[in-house]
Amino acid sequence: MSTHIPDVLLARLLTAQRVTAFTGAGISAESGVPTFRGNEGLWKKFKPEELANLSAFMKNPDLVWEWYQARRTIIGTVQPNDGHRALVEMEVLFPSCTVITQNVDNLHRRAGSRNIVELHGNIERNYCLSCGATYDGTDLPHTAGVPRCTRSGCTGLIRPDVVWFGEMLPEDEWEGAVRASATADVFFSIGTSAVVYPAASLPLTAKQQGAFLVEINTERTPLTPSADLFLQGVSGEVLPAIVHAVRERRTP
């Protein structure tokens, strides 16, 4: 393992009861899922902000649906990476471990994490804008453009169950995220640009409530000055190195 894990973090982890990991698009980048803010995040020259909102969907539902289908195709062909898997191992290493994710790609679940708060929804789920009926990826009506609801008498537009720009976060998920942040002994902010609010306030909540705040990112972010420790690197290497270091110290 090349990443050096400082003693100050190891000491915290060895006594930690609650560990919370807050993840963004960066943790899935090594799996091949494009982040939003890199150039590869563009699709047909559209910025995600131009497509991931309700008025774009109402104006051109077929276009927005096509973008989500393109993203689902990518996500369907990729696999969780060592970063996702290290977080699964943390559920075994610590008495309580929660993953709060801004990702909609379902990769934490596919990797095997069980205690997950999906702040921004999940691209595998969909629901009808008119009646709220839910559809998972397998029971969607097959159509070229946006599918329509097939429940009796309803022909509403079906949208992905993700939180679009300008929309509220799901209340239960938000409360779960605040709880897991406020009670964390160690809080990891991983692969997120830490600019999308209110999610970006969670690391600060954790720190204010006494957590040791660790940021793992390939680049500095607006959160970096507030972090107790900034580990620069790819999450698929840094997270396994952390798990490895904790295991080594625990086994005499």
Q: Does 235 bind ligand NAD (CB under 6 A)?
A: yes
Select the span of 58-66, 152-160, 170-178, 216-224 touching ligand NAD (CB under 6 A). Answer: 216-224
**Rounded CA separation 121/65 (Å):** 16
Site string for ligand NAD, 36-65 (x = CB under 6 A): xx----------------------------
- Catalytic residue, chosen from 4, 120, 142, 244, is 120
Pairing of strands 96-101, 121-128: unpaired
Site string for ligand NAD, 62-101 (x = CB under 6 A): ----------------------------------------
Amino acid at 207: K
- Indicate the SS3 state at residue 124: strand
Footprint of ligand NAD on 3-42 (CB under 6 A): 24-26, 28-30, 33, 35-37
Closest listed residue to residue 21, CA positions, set 169, 245, 231, 219 = 231
Binds Zn ion by CB under 5 A, chosen from 14, 42, 70, 131: 131
Burial class (CB in 10 A: 0-12, 13-18, 19+), 2: exposed
Pairing of strands 121-128, 158-162: antiparallel
Q: Residue 123: CA atoms inside 13 Å, Cβ hemisphere, count?
A: 23
Active-site residue set = 120
Binding site for ligand NAD (CB under 6 A): 24-26, 28-30, 33, 35-37, 102-105, 120, 191-193, 196, 216-219, 221, 234-235
Binding site for Zn ion (CB under 5 A): 128, 130-131, 133, 149, 151, 154, 156
